[in-house]
Amino acid sequence: MVDYNIGGLMKKQKTSDAVIRVIASREKLEEEIGSAFSINMNAQVKARLRELCVFYGHEGMLTRKSGTGRRFSEVLATLIDAHYIVYVFNPRTAPAKELIRVFKHVHRLKMRGKDNETIRETMINRGFDRPGAIADVLTDEKMDPKAWTEKDVEKMLNPEKVLKLLMKIENKQNG
């Protein structure tokens, strides 16, 4: 039995296992990525969003008919965070400014179709400090601050993680 609120009246109704699974799935989604909201866009914009989904690793999005909402949400969140880092976030410290510069460089390479290994090599060859060195949070003091790893590239390609690191830098410097 599940309680439903219909027009202000609470009603109990028998539900199938499938309905219970759907309700549980929606609740889990809400916990993970927030509550649902609708968004309107024309066909051309939606086609470009599908291409961006493929670019960000969601294969098959050009033809997928169902199960697109979660992927759209993830890609939109990534794009919003990246835009926020580049155009809105106002860094007050030199390390935060440097991290944003590195973030832009890594993303520029990715947008040009470079794979993560090529990006890693490029960052080493151009002498960029690793994100952990910029933020002064390297756990291994013996590790070269310029010896980029695959994990460093992945971190810089994840705007949510970069934002957390930026906040840590700003709070550390101003705290």
Q: Report domain extents, the chain.
A: 1-36, 41-88, 89-174
Check residue 117 and give its pLDDT.
97
Residues 6+ apart with CB under 8 A from 76: 49
Q: What is the pTM of this model?
A: 0.76
Confidence check: pLDDT of 118 > 80: yes
Confidence check: pLDDT of 6 > 70? no
What are the tens digits of pLDDT across the range 47-93?
999 999 998 888 889 988 887 888 898 999 999 999 999 999 999 99
Contact 85, 162 (CB under 8 A): yes
3-class secondary structure, 120: helix
CA 129 from centre of chain: 22
Instruction: Determine the average pLDDT of the residues in 138-160.
Output: 86
Q: Calculate the alpha carbon distances from 10 to 6, 16, 18 in Å.
A: 6, 19, 21
**Residue 4's pLDDT is what?**
58
The residues with which 13 forms a beta bridge, in sequence order, are 2
Closest CA to 39 of 2, 11, 79: 79
Q: Which residues are 10's β-sheet partners?
A: 5
